[in-house]
Amino acid sequence: MTPSPLRTTGWSAASDTRAVGAATGAWVTAFAATGVSDLAAGPVAAWVVVVGVAAATVALRSRRIGPALAAATVLLAVCALLLTATAAGLERRSPTALGLDPGATSAASMTGTVELTGTVERPEAGAFGSPRVAGTLVGIRIDGRERAASVPVLLFSDDVVLESGIGARVEVRGSVRRADPGDSVAWLVFARDAEYGSGPTGPVAWASGLRDGFLAWSSELPGDGGLLLPGLAIGDTRAVTPSLDAAMTAGSLSHLTAVSGANCAVVVAGVMALAAALGLRLRSRVVLAGAALVGFVLIVTPQPSVLRAAAMAVILLVATVSGRRGAGLPALMVTVVVLLSLDPWLARDFGFALSVAATAGLLTLAPALTRALSRGMSPVLAAAIAVPTAAQAACQPVLVLLDPTLPVLSVPANLLAAPAAPIATVAGLLASLLLPVLPPVGAAVGWLAWIPSSWIAAVARAFDQVPARLPWLPGAVGAALAALVLLLVVVAVRRRSRVVAVLAVGVAASVVASLIGISLGSALSRPADWWVVSCDVGQGAAALIRGDDSVALIDTGDDPAALERCLAGAGVQRIHLLVLTHFDRDHVGAAGVLAGRVDSVLVGPSDGPVADRLVETLRRSGAEVHETVAGESGMLGDLDWRVVWPEPGAPPGNDASVVLAVQGDGVSAAVLGDLGEEAQRALLRSGRLGRVDVVSVAHHGSADQSPELYERLGARVALVSVGADNPYGHPTASALEMLDALGATTLRTDRSGTAVLALVGEEHRLVAWSAGGRTAADPGEGVGGSP
């Protein structure tokens, strides 16, 4: 009897089902288990014993195990494995691993040794606060007790020693605080002092030197091509500017700078072909390919997507040696289980999730989509369209959690850019290897790689100028609906029944059209000629005010993506006046993304080096920065603005918040920052602020308010910038009752989303619109007045 092809390859549909079920169970188990601070070892051990005994009993008592029972047995065993791995990981991350009491969450003083495992993230890249780098705490001394450790940490320090590179060891003195459950790191280390301990050694030192050398060489190349080349070749994106990164994201091309299975496939295929040309046997070829893969991982650093690609390549190489042609989907699922068992916290890593999703899309959706498209076009063009479409569709449920939009031009952008990527990748990798040993040859190959790199960057810049994204529902609901659409697409292209395919496509199209229609309808109903916008940036503050064609932004919140959505929704590309009321993170944390887009900046008194660094970043990006005090004034288009607080010499903090009053076209507004009750009373006594039409309520609606000040202001509209379900109880009942008693219409971003105020008609009637869909026309009588 001739064996079936499935038996010949060693895989079957049942194998696929078991593998997918096991990987899904592993992921769900790891995600849930890593979200707690402690997982008792005793119950976990008991669970493992029970599952092991049950699986062994089933195997011994049944000569033939049905597919369902076999799948259930594998699933239980994998879940038990992941629980065990997570319990062990939590033990390594526990306070006792640092020599602290079991319930401790911090230590005010410690010394330790941190081995760096990542590259530095700086405030200039959009993060607010001290530079930070991922590492492993390998030794710690607290209260005179010294012990070895192996704990993943995030190290914060202003010292340049953080630039020592992956594999270097840094001696730190400072404090530690436990990270939130589920974070990839266990503890946060805040260094008061940091000193260089030792550099990387062995292969890690070689790889670090090669990366740094190639980065330095490529940075001398002209234009965006030189900045992008290290990312395309070896996954090093340190040279990519924020604007170029945003352009790559806008064109759905950022995956080209993330090392993936394609990069590993190029390395393995190249080494295998070279070894075959030398006449080596299969085992020798596989061993050489494996060694080359290890070296490649060292060069590009073991990021989650790299680990996924490399582990899958190893599994397929092992299958090749064993004489079994590896099937892609089971190999991917086995890779997921293996990596999650080694590091369960990968279940919460977006990079790992996107890597797995994209690969699954290429393995399951791309072939069927290619066949479907080939009915109406050439197979080559069909494959060129199917590959980016499948990868984008598979990733979309995850991407929605990061950016709730639907990219409509990702396929054309990838059709233009993707053909250049392999050339840039291969030539760039060869150049990085040749430059240290044969500089002239390496330089020639590097220049060759620069050409396709420049083309990819040019495509990204071009698509960045085109509105290429449609709004989608955010959060878990949006992700679930995207997953439903993906499932329907898979059914449509993989089912042979035309009726089923048509129904699936019809339902998917209806879901997409409905969601886009709702979002576009909301966007189209939004007043285009707005005056004030209270941005929904979560638990933070950000507000826009417009006078003619000039725009002021008061504070930024702490969520760059939320700020960008608000700016895009308001049609704002340039900020003419940025006011940072004070330097609390929930007011200025997203300011880094505005670098290069701001003309003038007003700030309150600095509260330390972090604030100084942010100011310097804005100044270096071309903005004129000025520390302001009460009495200063200016024009914003046809609006007059005045600073009415703080007093000169005021100490930094909430009560030194910059208070801005604006007036024009018979309407007025005031933004109170985070002033507390005492400072509000002092402002009231100063007599600088009179009646206004709109007030941005101080400190997110906390209880620390002066009713007398709000009575003096007499605002008809009160804007409260606040995050849903925040732990501070904002806005407080007392603040809301005060505003209600004064007759103000209160718009809260936690309930209504972004709120927009527009002036309608010659009488400048005030109209309010909110993203939540509730519109309040003419929210108050007697609009007008002067601040």
Residue 586, domain CATH:
3.60.15.10
Binning the chain into helix, strand and coil, the percentages to the nearest 5 are 55, 20, 30
User: Which own/partner pairs from 764-769 qualify as long-range (CB within 8 Å, at least 24 positions apart)?
Assistant: 764/665, 764/666, 764/667, 766/667, 766/693, 766/694, 766/716, 766/717, 767/527, 768/717, 769/525, 769/526, 769/527
Give the tokens for residue 476.
């878990």
User: Which of 235-249, 465-479, 636-650 has the weakest average pLDDT?
Assistant: 465-479
Query: What is the rounded average pLDDT for all residues in the chain?
Result: 81
Sign of CA dihedral 345, 347, 352, 354: negative
The answer to whether position 311 is within a domain reads yes
pLDDT confidence of 787, banded at 50, 70, 90? very low
Q: What is the DSSP letter of 235?
A: S
What does the alpha-carbon distance between residue 283 and residue 782 come to, in Å, rounded to a whole number?
86
Of 432, 455, 470, which closes a domain?
470
Q: What mean pLDDT comes out for the span 149-167?
A: 84
Give the tokens for residue 285.
């070829």
The answer to whether position 749 is within a domain reads yes
Give the pLDDT confidence score for residue 144 in this predicted structure.
79
Say whether both 74 and 188 belong to one domain.
no
Highest-confidence range of 149-163, 349-363, 506-520, 667-681, by mean pLDDT? Answer: 667-681
pLDDT over 70 percentage in the chain: 83
Say whether both 762 and 619 belong to one domain.
yes
Say whether both 664 and 760 belong to one domain.
yes
Give the tokens for residue 393.
């569709």
User: Which of 115-124, 456-465, 474-483, 551-560 has the weakest average pLDDT?
Assistant: 115-124
Q: Which element (helix H / strand E) includes 399?
A: helix 379-402
CB-neighbour burial class of residue 49 (10 A; exposed 0-12, middle 13-18, buried 19+): exposed
Q: What mean pLDDT comes out for the span 627-648?
A: 90
The answer to whether position 434 is within a domain reads yes
Say whether both 448 and 536 belong to one domain.
no
Give the CA distances from residue 723 to residues 392, 699, 750, in Å, rounded to whole numbers and listed in that order. 31, 12, 5
The answer to whether position 509 is within a domain reads no
Give the tokens for residue 509.
């199209």
- Amino acid identity of 415? L
Phi-psi region of 55 (alpha: psi -120 to 50; beta: other; left: phi over 0): alpha
Question: Which of helix, strand or coil describes residue 674?
Answer: coil
Per-residue pLDDT of 579-601, as tens digits, reads 999 999 889 988 888 877 888 99
Residue 760: CB partners within 8 Å, gap ≥ 6? 766, 767
Query: Which of these, 691, 284, 223, lies nearest to 458 by C-alpha position?
Result: 223
Give the pLDDT confidence score for residue 507 in this predicted structure.
56
What does the alpha-carbon distance between residue 135 and residue 390 come to, in Å, rounded to a whole number?
35
Q: What mean pLDDT comes out for the span 206-221?
A: 91
Residue 251, phi then psi, degrees to nearest 5: -90, 10
Cis link prior to 102 (omega < 30° from 0)?
A: no
Domain count, the chain: 4
Contact between 787 and 690 (Cβ < 8 Å): yes
Give the pLDDT confidence score for residue 779 in this predicted structure.
45
User: Which of 29-33, 260-264, 432-436, 761-765 has the weakest average pLDDT?
Assistant: 761-765
Give the tokens for residue 91.
């033990």
Query: Which of these, 385, 315, 327, 338, lies nearest to 360 by C-alpha position?
Result: 327
Host domain of residue 11: 5-90
Neighbour count for residue 740 (Cβ, 10 Å): 12
Contact between 567 and 556 (Cβ < 8 Å): no
Is pLDDT larger for residue 326 or for residue 300? 300
Per-residue pLDDT of 499-541, as tens digits, reads 555 555 555 565 555 555 555 545 545 566 788 999 999 889 9
Say whether both 252 and 337 belong to one domain.
yes
Residue 199: CB partners within 8 Å, gap ≥ 6? 164, 165, 167, 168, 169, 205
Q: Report angle CA 737, 739, 745 to the nearest 5 degrees.
A: 120
Neighbour count for residue 534 (Cβ, 10 Å): 30
Say whether both 696 and 548 belong to one domain.
yes
The answer to whether position 320 is within a domain reads yes
Per-residue pLDDT of 2-52, as tens digits, reads 333 333 344 455 566 678 888 888 899 899 888 876 665 555 555 655 665
Q: How many CA atoms lie within 13 A of 46 on its CB side?
A: 4
Helix residue spans in 62-182 (DSSP H):
67-93
Strands (DSSP E) found in 535-657: 543-547, 550-554, 575-580, 598-603, 624-627, 633-636, 639-645
Say whether both 551 and 610 belong to one domain.
yes
Give the pLDDT confidence score for residue 52 in this predicted structure.
59
Say whether both 73 and 124 belong to one domain.
no
Q: What is the CATH number of the domain that holds 188?
A: 2.40.50
Say whether both 114 and 251 belong to one domain.
no
Question: Which of helix, strand or coil describes residue 747?
Answer: strand
User: Which own/partner pairs from 631-635 qualify as long-range (CB within 8 Å, at least 24 positions apart)?
Assistant: 632/602, 634/577, 635/547
Query: Which of these, 662, 680, 664, lies nearest to 672 by C-alpha position?
Result: 680
Say whether both 211 and 296 belong to one domain.
yes
Contact between 696 and 542 (Cβ < 8 Å): no
The answer to whether position 567 is within a domain reads yes
What does the alpha-carbon distance between residue 655 and residue 678 come to, in Å, rounded to a whole number?
8
Q: What mean pLDDT comes out for the span 462-471?
A: 73
Say whether both 152 and 235 belong to one domain.
no
Give the pLDDT confidence score for residue 200 in this predicted structure.
86
Cis link prior to 731 (omega < 30° from 0)?
A: yes
- The residue behind tokens 């436990």 is 178
Q: Which element (helix H / strand E) includes 338?
A: helix 328-342
Q: What mean pLDDT comes out for the span 218-239?
A: 90
Highest-confidence range of 45-59, 217-231, 361-375, 754-768, by mean pLDDT? Answer: 217-231
Of 90, 109, 136, which closes a domain?
90
What does the alpha-carbon distance between residue 462 and residue 250 come to, in Å, rounded to a whole number?
10
The answer to whether position 369 is within a domain reads no
Per-residue pLDDT of 99-150, as tens digits, reads 888 888 888 888 999 998 888 776 543 344 567 888 999 989 888 788 888 8
Query: Which of these, 290, 292, 298, lies nearest to 234 by C-alpha position?
Result: 298
Of 200, 223, 238, which closes a domain?
200
Say whether both 638 and 590 belong to one domain.
yes
Contact between 120 and 131 (Cβ < 8 Å): yes
Per-residue pLDDT of 412-422, as tens digits, reads 888 898 889 88
The answer to whether position 606 is within a domain reads yes
DSSP codes joined into one string, 255-271: GGGS--HHHHHHHHHHH
Say what angle helices 328-342 and 13-33 make with each other, to 10 degrees.
20
